[in-house]
Structure 1
């Protein structure tokens, strides 16, 4: 079946995103991407120089989507504690793993095409957390005098560690417990999840 003009690139990106998140980058061959997308080898190399160039665009799109989520949270409330609450209420499935964390364990993480977008996302996430923690501490909304930068790193480490243990043991409760610990750290009561995310 002939693919309509202009659809090949989007099909490749959609197929690659699905396969990378399911099977990993290194384990996904170009042939698997051709088969999933219905796009041939010639069209692949018309749009992307190689698989590294493809994953770079896939990651840039994932970063943009998740970064937009952080901006939307900031826009929804002027209260920094409410923003932290909204971030922690994002639905996460531990056994699925973090979108970005999945790539970190790949041998190819040494390549800038993969490392740079992921590093940029975590820098933005840490800034989001640090800015809101700093303001919440300054306003007395969080009864802690801890360094906001260190606390933001602890939060990310708890969440990523929860993903790792959930995947190792195929048990979502590891991540759920770590999220509960984070909520205690910032003085938030347990609440149900409300949104989908990584």
Structure 2
């Protein structure tokens, strides 16, 4: 078994969501709702999760004494649980970060569609890739705006956002190539 295979086997035994939540709590104590929002902003291009998965994972983390909660008044309503990381949680998070990750699985349905673009009339394929490009352009603008307010005093969020910028720029460049090739195709 190679090093990459060992990392994948180890990573598959762990629940990544728990580590994502520990990372979000490490940066600042948050409620479950705030953690979901944090994941939507800070990690939207690298991690997605259903809000309903957050609370069961938080309960497990608290049961394992990796986080603790405190009931505090809500900003617009009833009390809410605010979670903070414990020393054991910090140790667990540090070990996870130090371990590295397996190569990510890529699931991009648009790539599969482009694989079969020869089935579509040229104008239909062009309309689709232009729509995809527009979505990625909007995402790029979001990341650029976020990047503009981050500093090197926030290296984690800055580096993750920077990766989002580069990924969106690359996807846009690819869309442009697809559009150019499809536009040259005889219909």
Smaller-chain TM-score bracket: 0.3 to 0.5
**Bigger-Rg structure (1/2):** 2
Scaled by the length of structure 2, the TM-score of the pair is 0.39
Counting strand residues as a fraction of each chain, which structure ranks higher? 2
Structure possessing the higher relative contact order (Cα contacts under 8 Å, 6 or more residues apart): 1
